[in-house]
A and B are shown apart, each in its own frame.
Chain A
Amino acid sequence: MINTIYIEKEIANHPRTKMLIERFPNAAKITCERYTEIFNRKAQNFRLQKKNPALILAKKYKNMVLKAPNHYGIGAEHNYYFSHMLNCIYDCRYCFLQGMFQSAHYVLFINYEDFINEIKLILKKHSRENVHFFSGYDCDSLALDSISDFTKFFMPFFELNPSGLIELRTKSTQIRPLLRISPINNCVVAFSFTPNKISSTLEHKTSSVARRLEAIIELQKNGWQIGLRFDPLIYTKDFFIEYEELFDSIFSKINSKLLHSVSLGGFRLPKNYFRKIEKLYPDEILLTSPLTEKNNVLCYPDDIQDNMFSFCEKTIGQYVSPEKFFPCYEVI
């Protein structure tokens, strides 16, 4: 439940702002000049704010759509990401957002039209080439969709612009807005997974693996393209048993022939983010994992990482053809 909404003055009268405010009649509404006055203040405590995050309605002015890091991708040559939202309603202990942001409040950039304009320019720049856009980089793409109407606005645009593919990265089972519309071929609903036990230890407030699977089945039935993201892979003593069970339960239930893509990535966190998360959650067992530092990034040592990757590649390879499989070995 949202108890406080901060609203940037400039967008206070925007129809989307008004519509959003109406959804929370009991929330305290506070105007501000720029969202950064609240979001970037020092001496905030992310852990405390996570108990009751506020919603900040803001306008994004620049850097709306950015080039994705080099190794980020599921087959296209040109990869971009954009964040209509910062932060997430879930609370995964491995999440880099806890290390990156000062605040746990949800920032929603409501000028969707400006994002679309920039996406249009990028599509124009790469006309005749495939371009992928990743939307769940600084948030979960679907978790707050019922409030943000993100898919309601963006899906029709992508339907008309098939050379751009959009990935909705999520752990959410809020798929009703998608089920209400016809599936769009150039949209991948990409679900992230860790095994059940790991998920219940680390992915606080998310829906269970089983419920995510139900959502996938429902979406597949309705013709939506599905992606599977095993990113980050999390090491534990029973890694092989736990991941085997996970793969079994996923591939025995969904139609793997219809899958759009499967990707893998190791646990990694920039050192400064890791240090901040350590301060916030010193009792977190994940942070005591065997880790090594590579170029200021903390990740598993090569032997652990290699074993995890080769096991996953072998197992996933039984269900998914190589052209749909995108393991990412890089840590930076």
Chain B
Amino acid sequence: MAVHIFCALSCEAKPIIDNFNLIRLNEFDLFKIYQSIDKETSLIITNIGKVNAVEAVTYHHDNIKTSEYDIWLNIGIAGHENISIGEIRIINKIVDHEDQSCWYPQIIFNPPCNCIDLITLGKPSAEYQSCLYDMEASGFYFAATKYGTLELIHSLKIISDNNKAPISKINKNDVSNLVKNKINTINKILNELRLLSSEIKSTNKQPRDYENFLKKWHFSQTEKYQLLNLLQKHDVRFPENNFSEISETLKTGKQVLKKLRDKLNKTDFSLH
């Protein structure tokens, strides 16, 4: 499964790019995209604002192969009235300030940091409250849920400013350091998400003989689906048994499907 990371600013992205040894993919110029050599981790700089976040997610999906088993992470800085600078939070509710739509990221693992809700604003604000503020999360989440699985899409925010230390006091270097100091926590979260991802990925194994059967016989689109389903069942029911041997003499795809159905229906069935 691949990991897709979305940062609004280059200074937020830098420590992540360094940590995962990501390399800039120069063929993409609408947004800057970086990727690891094994293509397992990629990062896109979305630029500021939720509209940019939506476009960046779509652009990323269109250009980098994504799947429903992939992990989608929005990582960035955010302000809060009194949480200490440098602390990290995982977001459990995102409210879009403009249209008041809400999203609820599904945190079904034990996160190594506290959870909090967040409001995505259209414009920067220095009025701190008891929730986090950012300018991208609602756009990111809205777009990512079109391509991913809810439990694998998350937003992580590192506190950069609060009532005592306003945003005007920090520079790009400070931002990079804030993110760098939380790479461990980010990795812990990624490990939890990888476990979840591999669990659902394992539900999409292709049956042993599927590709060979498609080469050997003709199946219509519906029949291909039926073949996949029947071969999957066959593999579960008869893990030791190779169906291709008994199908050697069959002439058409329809005969193969019938033979598979008969075998699944007639053989003694044991649950244990």
* B93 contacts the other chain (CB 8 A): yes
Instruction: Provide a sorted-by-A list of 23 A–B residue pairs whose CB atoms are within 8 angstroms.
Output: A43-B145, A44-B149, A44-B151, A47-B203, A48-B106, A48-B149, A49-B151, A51-B108, A52-B108, A52-B109, A198-B271, A236-B270, A237-B270, A238-B270, A282-B203, A282-B205, A282-B232, A287-B236, A288-B233, A288-B264, A289-B271, A290-B266, A290-B269
Contacts of A198 in B (CB 8 A): 271
A237's nearest neighbour on chain B, judged by CB, is B270
CB–CB B199/A290 < 8 A:
no
Determine which of A32, A37, A284 lies in contact with B236 in the assembled complex, contact meaning CB atoms within 8 Å. Answer: A284
Q: Which of B81-128 contact A (CB under 8 A)?
A: 92-93, 102, 104, 106-110, 115, 117
Quote the shortest CB–CB distance from A293 to chain B (angstroms): 12
Tally of contact residues, A, Cβ under 8 A: 44
B114's nearest neighbour on chain A, judged by CB, is A28
Within the assembled complex, what's the spacing in Å between the Cα atoms of A33 and B232?
42
Within the assembled complex, what's the spacing in Å between the Cα atoms of A287 and B203?
14
Within the assembled complex, what's the spacing in Å between the Cα atoms of A148 and B151?
27
Within the assembled complex, what's the spacing in Å between the Cα atoms of A315 and B145?
53
Within the assembled complex, what's the spacing in Å between the Cα atoms of A53 and B268?
37
- Supply 16 further A-B pairs (C-beta < 8 A) apart from A4-B92, A30-B93, A49-B106: A4-B115, A28-B115, A32-B93, A43-B148, A48-B151, A201-B271, A201-B272, A202-B271, A236-B270, A236-B271, A282-B204, A282-B205, A284-B236, A285-B271, A288-B264, A289-B271
B38-81 interface bits toward A, Cβ cutoff 8 Å, 1 = contact, 0 = none: 00000000000000000000000000000010000000000000
Contacts of A290 in B (CB 8 A): 264-266, 269
CB–CB A283/B271 < 8 A:
no
Q: Which of A190-209 contact B (CB under 8 A)?
A: 197-198, 201-202
Tally of contact residues, B, Cβ under 8 A: 37
Contacts of B264 in A (CB 8 A): 288, 290
* B1 contacts the other chain (CB 8 A): no
Within the assembled complex, what's the spacing in Å between the Cα atoms of A47 and B270?
24
* A20 contacts the other chain (CB 8 A): no
Within the assembled complex, what's the spacing in Å between the Cα atoms of A310 and B271?
21
Determine which of B106, B229, B236, B268 lies in contact with A44 in the assembled complex, contact meaning CB atoms within 8 Å. Answer: B106
* A139 contacts the other chain (CB 8 A): no
Within the assembled complex, what's the spacing in Å between the Cα atoms of A324 and B120?
61
* B165 contacts the other chain (CB 8 A): no
Quote the shortest CB–CB distance from A298 to chain B (angstroms): 12
* B150 contacts the other chain (CB 8 A): yes
CB–CB B203/A237 < 8 A:
no
B90's nearest neighbour on chain A, judged by CB, is A28
B266's nearest neighbour on chain A, judged by CB, is A290
* A301 contacts the other chain (CB 8 A): yes
CB–CB B149/A285 < 8 A:
no
B104's nearest neighbour on chain A, judged by CB, is A38
Within the assembled complex, what's the spacing in Å between the Cα atoms of A116 and B233?
46
CB–CB A45/B200 < 8 A:
yes
* A154 contacts the other chain (CB 8 A): no
Contacts of B102 in A (CB 8 A): 32-33, 37
* Most B Cβ at <10 Å: residue of A237, A283, A288: A288
* B190 contacts the other chain (CB 8 A): no
B230-262 interface bits toward A, Cβ cutoff 8 Å, 1 = contact, 0 = none: 001110110000000000000000000000000
CB–CB B150/A301 < 8 A:
no
Which of A78-86, A107-115, A211-219, A273-281 forms part of the interface with chain B?
A273-281
CB–CB B150/A236 < 8 A:
no
Contacts of B205 in A (CB 8 A): 282
Contacts of B200 in A (CB 8 A): 45, 47-48
Within the assembled complex, what's the spacing in Å between the Cα atoms of A179 and B53?
57
* B196 contacts the other chain (CB 8 A): yes
CB–CB A236/B199 < 8 A:
no
CB–CB B271/A44 < 8 A:
no
* A286 contacts the other chain (CB 8 A): yes
A6's nearest neighbour on chain B, judged by CB, is B104
Contacts of A288 in B (CB 8 A): 233-234, 236-237, 264, 269
Determine which of B117, B237, B265 lies in contact with A30 in the assembled complex, contact meaning CB atoms within 8 Å. Answer: B117
Determine which of A6, A41, A281 lies in contact with B203 in the assembled complex, contact meaning CB atoms within 8 Å. Answer: A281
Within the assembled complex, what's the spacing in Å between the Cα atoms of A46 and B173?
42
Determine which of B92, B106, B229 lies in contact with A278 in the assembled complex, contact meaning CB atoms within 8 Å. Answer: B229
Contacts of B145 in A (CB 8 A): 41, 43
B232's nearest neighbour on chain A, judged by CB, is A282
A236-B271, A236-B272, A238-B270 as given contacts; A283 in contact with B236, CB under 8 Å:
yes
